[in-house]
Amino acid sequence: MMTYLILNLLFFVTIIMFTPDKLSRPSKKWWLTLAIIIGLTAIFDPIIVALDIVAYDPAKVLGIYFFGAPIEDFFYALYAAILLPLVWQRFERVKK
C-alpha cells in the first residue's frame, strides 16, 4: 500500500539525485524562503483540508497534524525549498 510516507521517501530520493557532491551551507535567504514556504503551508493547507478540496486517507498518513494539516504536507514544502535551488544550479551549470 502506497502511503504518504513512502511518497515522501520517493521525493527524498529525487532530491538525492540532484544533490551536488559538495554542498554549501544554506544562506540566510534560503532559510527565509523556507520559513515563508512553511508558513504559507501552515496557513493554506488546513484551509484546503477543511474545505474538503483535498482529503487524506487516515490509514495512509502518519497521524501527526499541524494546524489541521498532516505533517506530510510540510515535508513537500521542505522538499520544494531544497529541490528547486538544486535543480536551478544543475541546469545553470549545463547552460554554461
Condensed to tens digits (0 to 9), the pLDDT of residues 52-65 reads 898 888 888 888 88
20 within domain boundaries:
no
pLDDT tens digits, one per residue of 72-92: 888 888 888 887 877 777 777
Q: How far apart are CA 35 and CA 19, in angstroms?
A: 21
Pick the more confident residue, 23 or 71.
Answer: 71
Domain with 67 in it: 4-13+26-95
Tell me: pLDDT of 96 over 60. no
The pTM of this model reads 0.73
pLDDT at residue 84, as a whole number:
80
- Whether 52 is in a domain gets the answer yes
Scanning 1-96, the segments in alpha helix (DSSP H) are 4-18, 28-50, 71-95
pLDDT at 43 (0 to 100): 93
In a domain, 18, yes or no: no
User: What's the number of domains the chain is made of?
Assistant: 1
Backbone angles phi, psi at 25, to 5 degrees: -70, 145
